[in-house]
Amino acid sequence: MIHFFRRIRKQLADDNKPIKYFRYAIGEIVLVVIGILIALSINNWNEHRKEDINLYNIYEVVVKDLKNDINDINGLLKYYETIKPKFNKVLDGEMTNNDYLNCLECLNLIRSYPDLSLDVRGYNQLNNYKNINNKKKDDLITDIVQFYTKQLYEIRLDERIRNNGFDNNFEYWKSNYSWFSDFITDRNVDGFTEYAVNSQDYKNRVGMHYMMTYSVVLTQYSEFKNKAEILINRIEKINAND
């Protein structure tokens, strides 16, 4: 195309000999400028396209992370629903020594618990992403980062409080009961079961763990799950339109 413009420009310059060299020089400059602008435009388009692809790939990682987290949360919600009757049986004072001996989960109600490990690889990549050139995408990036910032803080805080309760249980038993070493190493649980059946202190500790788990931690898990599903739909809709 530039060669075409050059021929026209040269022909016009030849029609007027006194100024043909001036026109030729001006035309040459104009052609160079046009070439530079076209090259810059193509380069900018390529850069924006690379940014879009990079952001698309980060979104894909975020979606994968969120789906993994939702699956993990569903597993935990199901697990805690299955052991809820065991909590209630302890709190209602219906457990016997034999019940504890025949129920490993009952022995471990406030000795251990499955925790949630959230996938944050996509969040970390997105949090470091600086090349934002679209307002719609800018809003989504902000919402995702704010979602993770809040949810990670809340979940980690709740689990830290719950974990502190477990540490307190162990420290109290270690300092006050001779059966603790046998119980914690699974050598003999008779002393613990006698304590669990007859002690109001144990019921109080189970009640505290029950409250933290079902009223706080699992509520936070459910909130994470619901908001994560909304974000997944938004991300998949934007990626599908790109």
Question: Does residue 3 sit within a domain?
Answer: no
175 within some domain: yes
Cβ proximity of 60 and 239 under 8 Å:
yes
In a domain, 29, yes or no: no
User: What's the pLDDT tens digit per position in 35-73?
Assistant: 666 756 665 666 666 777 888 899 999 999 999 999 999
- The answer to whether 162 and 213 have CB atoms below 8 angstroms apart is yes
Give CA–CA dist 138/124, Å, rounded: 16
Instruction: Please report whether residue 22 resides in a domain.
Output: no
34 within domain boundaries? no
Domain of 187 in residue numbering reads as: 50-241
Contacts of 230 (CB under 8 A, 6+ apart): none
Within a domain: residue 30?
Answer: no
Number of domains in the chain: 1
User: What integer is the mean pLDDT of 169-181?
Assistant: 95
Supply φ then ψ for residue 199, to 5 degrees: -105, 125
Q: What percent of the chain has pLDDT over 90?
A: 60
Q: Distance between CA 91 and CA 161 in Å, rounded? A: 21
The percentage of residues in the chain with a pLDDT greater than 70, rounded to a whole number, is 76
How confident is the model over 180-191, as pLDDT tens digits?
999 999 999 999
Q: What is the pTM of this model?
A: 0.77
Q: DSSP character for 17?
A: G
* Distance of alpha carbon 170 from the chain centroid: 32
Average pLDDT, integer, range 17-40:
64
